[in-house]
Amino acid sequence: MESTGARADCRRRPRGFTLMELLVALLILSLALISLSQLYLAGMWTVQKARYLSLATQRAQAELERANDLGILSLLNGPSEASYPISEYTWHEDGRGVDFTEDSLPNSQGTLTWQNWPTGETGSDQLLKVDIILTWKGAARSRSQVHVTTLLTNKR
């Protein structure tokens, strides 16, 4: 009789997981992995956006320094092709700006314009407003933009 009682105890003890427990555990694990993968993708998108923003800001700063190095009188009288070469820039018809692209940004379009300040005053060679706008195609077909505006004065 003792041997049958030992067998009965052996049958009552669980020996492993049931199929239902295993399926529930796999479902929880797969949901956690999906959440982590989405978090990873969002992080990668944020890093790419920050990289593009940094590149655009650096290019806008470089264009601002170029305009500052030319000086206000040079811009008012029209800069030379050496300062804005035709191979890299497209001149505006009014002679008050150039368009450019940044190769490291997807579908980028940049514009640098200058005008007397305050707007509408003619013959003023004291202040010049310089605008630099650089746009590019971001993620999910969105457009991102960096806009820098400053005033230049005559260097005396």
The rounded mean pLDDT for the chain is 85
The per-residue pLDDT for range 102-141, each reduced to its tens digit, is 999 999 999 999 988 886 656 556 788 999 999 998 766 6
The pLDDT of residue 70 is 87
Task: Return the amino acid letter for 143.
Answer: R
The residue among 81 and 22 whose pLDDT is bigger is 22
pTM of the model: 0.72
Q: Is 147 helix (H, G, I), strand (E, B) or coil?
A: strand
Residue (of 122, 135, 124, 126) closest to 56 by Cα position? 135
Report d(CA 132, CA 39) in Å as an integer: 35
